[in-house]
Amino acid sequence: MATSDSQTSAPNKGFDLLRRRVRGHQGMIIGSVIVVSVLLIALLAPLLAPHDPYQQDLLKRLVPPVWDSRGSWEHVLGTDHLGRDYLSRLIYGARISLLIGIGAALISGIIGTIMGVMAGYFGGRVDMIVTFMITVRLSMPVVLVALAVVAIVGGSLQVVIAVLGLLLWDRFAVVMRSSTLQIRSMDYVAAARAVGCSTSRVLMTEVMPNVVNNLIVITTIEIAHAIILEAALSFLGLGVQPPMPSWGLMVSEGKDMMLFEPWLITIPGVALFLLVLAINLMGDGVRDITAPENRN
């Protein structure tokens, strides 16, 4: 627990603790509110979106949002370069971004957790192999892998999720490994083994429940990471394919108009930023509550 280098007398310490918990809670509350809102928006998209996000209108291209003098309430956030309503695309884009984030985190989470726990629990050769694979993965140029996969299999939402899933497992593996290492040396694990529990049982009942907290924290980080990475891949043309409205794709499609109609980038950019910020706050909050001593 961090200490201030001066006044740490007893009454202040208690007050500090309380203040800290409240402050931590604040972040988590804000984060959760935003994330839940985005989730609801994504789920209720058909009810909320004023227009069909795929419907083009070549006569109403690049209409600015309502606050500009040339804007109108018909398209509150304006239209894109093909005349599609921006607000509707933003709303439906929430689905895509969340799908990608959660899907990629799920895949990479499963891969990384299995590898990390195995490495941490069995040690020795298994650990060496897993560590080696992690290092190789860290040294692989992400762009090359993404491009090769797209070239071989073609681009689509599933491919993007798969590629991200295959690239983001390393942090899961690292954290799960170190958590498992810690747990493995605990008494209750030794006890379970002494009693004769099979390896898989020990893993399931003793190891997993105790690494779950870290797992949750890492998952939130990687969801945010996947969402951002998709935006970067879209910039290079390797992300979600048009006309699907992912926020990352909207940012990359608006790039050419950046100097003239900046709202094309700012709006989805702010959406991405808020979502990522919120997920981070939520993750911090979960960690604070479950294991405050791990605050970093």
C-alpha–C-alpha distance, residues 283 and 271, integer Å: 18
237 binds other proteins (CB under 8 A): yes
Site residue total, other proteins (CB under 8 A): 60
d(CA 194, CA 190): 6
**Interaction between residue 272 and other proteins (CB under 8 A):** yes
Told to check if 235 binds other proteins by CB under 8 A, we report yes
Binding mask 79-118 for other proteins (x = CB under 8 A): --xx------------------------------------
Dihedral class, residue 68 (left if φ above 0, else alpha if ψ from -120 to 50, else beta): beta
Handedness of CA 72, 76, 79, 84 (dihedral sign): negative
Give the position of tokens 């924290």.
217
Nearer Cβ to other proteins, position 43 or 128?
A: 128
4 near other proteins, judged by CB under 8 A: yes
Backbone angles phi, psi at 263, to 5 degrees: -65, -25
- Taking CB under 8 A as the criterion, the residue among 15, 67, 188, 273 binding other proteins is 273
Q: From 92-100, 175-183, 193-201, 250-258, give the range in contact with other proteins by CB under 8 A.
A: 250-258
Q: Name residues contacting other proteins, limited to 120-149 (CB under 8 A).
A: 132, 135-136, 138-145, 147-148
From the list 37-45, 71-79, 194-202, 237-245, the region that binds other proteins by CB under 8 A is 237-245
Enumerate the β-bridge partners of residue 72.
Answer: 75
End-to-end CA distance of the chain: 10
Residue 33 or 140: the one with the smaller Cβ distance to other proteins is 140
Q: Does 31 bind other proteins (CB under 8 A)?
A: no
**CA-CA-CA-CA torsion sign (25, 220, 158, 89):** positive
Write the Ramachandran bin of 155: left for phi over 0, alpha for psi from -120 to 50, otherwise beta.
beta
d(CA 273, CA 228): 9
The minimum distance between CB 83 and other proteins, in angstroms, equals 8
Distance from C-alpha of 132 to C-alpha of 98, rounded to nearest angstrom: 31
Which 184-213 residues touch other proteins, going by CB under 8 A?
Answer: none
**Taking Cα atoms as reference points, which of 163, 169, 152, 161 lies closest to residue 244?**
161
CB-nearer residue toward other proteins: 201 or 295: 295
Interacting residues with other proteins (CB under 8 A): 1-5, 19-20, 23, 54, 56, 58-59, 61-62, 81-82, 132, 135-136, 138-145, 147-148, 151-152, 154-155, 224-225, 228, 231-232, 235-237, 241-243, 251, 255-260, 265, 269, 272-273, 276-277, 280, 295-296
